């Protein structure tokens, strides 16, 4: 069963401080967020939540990511508002039971509809099964253009997420993206930064090689100016017209992001991720981004939720 939440529940989470005694602009996110109600005339930034634990459960991980979108909204609500565009909340797609594939299709339709209206979409996960839903939505939108743009995927992640399995999971999304591209007769462009060698089997690296995937290991992800990272990014950008950026929070060190299904023993630093965001934003359109794998039940002092909100604010800007 899929429950398609309207904005009433998600909008109720937008509460925070009001600095009424300030003489200047003291606006915070909770004071400007508006519902989409299906259609809005002025393009802006649209948040869409994907509430699902099914992919993590199928991947034999620790469940709890379905509460991630709500936790993200609570952290975003009190942030100072420095955007130059309107901000909207399009609610959540909630997966109940085992109906992951239907939830992914519904999320893809909602993403495509918002992109068609000229918005930039920010997905709130949820397990990393959001990635196939997000990419599918961007693909639907791209197909409707007079000339289909070439789409690149940049994943900041400890895992390649190219698993072979009978059922879709949080470990299979980019293999599914590759299969979608093959069915539709378009090239598959996928780069992954922050890959943990000890968390990916030889079979996964072999599959990545066979699919033409480029990756950079976590211990080489120190700076966007390093030859390994800059080379990987520039090669991706040279082949595509737009990039779908997805950030899996388990790419961060476990002491920074404990609230994930699979905490990283090493990970990559916050500053590196922010530099990657800036590097892309200065060079190519980012119509769709998402943040995945926040598990509030495993978080400590809201560390993971807070840093995820910081990434989202930067992506929105």
DSSP per-residue codes, 244-309: EEEEEGGGSBTTT--SSSS-BSS---HHHHHHHHHHHHTTS---EEEEE---GGG-STTHHHHHHH
Q: Which of 141, 157, 218, 164 is nearest to 190 (CA)?
A: 157
pLDDT at residue 6 greater than cutoff 60:
no
156 bridge partner residues: 193, 247
**CA–CA dist 271, 257 (Å, integer):** 14
CATH of the domain at 47: 3.40.800.10
Per-residue pLDDT reduced to its tens digit, 103-116? 999 999 999 999 99
Tokens of residue 99, six digits: 């109906």
Q: Mean pLDDT score of the chain, rounded to an integer?
A: 94
Contact 153, 130 (CB under 8 A): no
Residue 307, pLDDT > 50, answer: yes
Residues 6+ apart with CB under 8 A from 66: 51, 52, 53, 94, 95, 126, 127
Give CA–CA dist 179/196, Å, rounded.
24
pLDDT at 2 over 60: no
DSSP class of residue 204? H
Of 2-16, 52-66, 289-303, minimum mean pLDDT range? 2-16
Other C-beta atoms within 10 Å of 82: how many? 11
pLDDT of residue 10: 78
C-alpha 178/C-alpha 162 separation (Å) is 9
Q: How many domains does the chain have?
A: 1
CA-to-CA distance for 194 and 119, rounded, in angstroms?
29
Q: Each residue of 132-181: pLDDT tens digit? A: 999 999 999 999 999 999 999 999 999 999 999 999 999 999 999 999 99
pLDDT recorded at residue 251: 97
Provide the domain limits for residue 143.
2-17+26-316
Q: What is the percent of the chain where pLDDT is above 90?
A: 89
Please tell me the distance from the alpha carbon of residue 166 to that of residue 98, in angstroms, as a whole number: 14
Average pLDDT over residues 180-201: 97
pTM of the model: 0.95
pLDDT band at 9 (very low <50, low <70, confident <90, very high): confident
The Cα 193–Cα 142 span in angstroms is 25
- Residue pair 226/220 in contact (Cβ under 8 Å)? The answer is yes
Q: What pLDDT does 1 receive?
A: 36
Q: Mean pLDDT throughout 14-20?
A: 86
Side-chain half-sphere exposure of 84, counting CA atoms within 13 A: 1
């Amino acid at each position: 069963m899929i429950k398609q939440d309207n904005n009433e529940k998600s909008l109720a989470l937008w509460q925070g401080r009001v600095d009424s005694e300030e003489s200047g602009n003291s606006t915070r996110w909770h004071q400007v967020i508006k519902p989409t109600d299906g259609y809005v005339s002025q393009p802006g930034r649209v948040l869409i939540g994907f509430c699902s634990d099914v992919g993590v459960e199928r991947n034999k991980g620790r469940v709890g990511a379905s509460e991630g979108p709500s936790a993200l909204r609570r952290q975003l609500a009190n942030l100072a508002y420095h955007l130059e565009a309107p901000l909207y909340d399009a609610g959540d797609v909630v997966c109940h039971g085992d109906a992951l594939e239907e939830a992914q299709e519904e999320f893809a339709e909602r993403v495509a509809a918002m992109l068609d209206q000229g918005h930039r979409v920010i997905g709130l996960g949820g397990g990393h099964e959001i990635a196939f839903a997000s990419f599918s939505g961007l693909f639907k939108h791209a197909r409707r253009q007079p000339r289909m743009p070439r789409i690149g995927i940049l994943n900041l992640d400890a895992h390649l997420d190219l698993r072979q399995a009978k059922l879709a999971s949080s470990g299979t999304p980019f293999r599914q993206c590759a299969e979608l591209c093959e069915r539709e007769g378009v090239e598959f462009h996928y780069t992954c930064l922050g890959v943990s060698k000890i968390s990916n089997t030889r079979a996964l690296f072999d599959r990545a090689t066979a699919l033409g995937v480029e990756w950079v290991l976590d211990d080489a992800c120190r700076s966007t100016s390093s030859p390994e990272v800059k080379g990987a990014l520039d090669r991706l950008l040279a082949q595509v017209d737009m990039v779908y950026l997805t950030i899996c929070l388990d790419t961060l060190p476990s002491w920074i992001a404990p609230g994930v299904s699979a905490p990283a023993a090493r990970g990559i630093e916050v500053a590196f991720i922010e530099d990657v965001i800036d590097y892309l934003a200065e060079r190519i359109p980012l119509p769709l981004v998402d943040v995945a794998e926040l598990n509030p039940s495993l978080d400590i002092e809201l560390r993971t939720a807070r840093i995820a909100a910081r990434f989202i604010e930067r992506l929105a800007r």
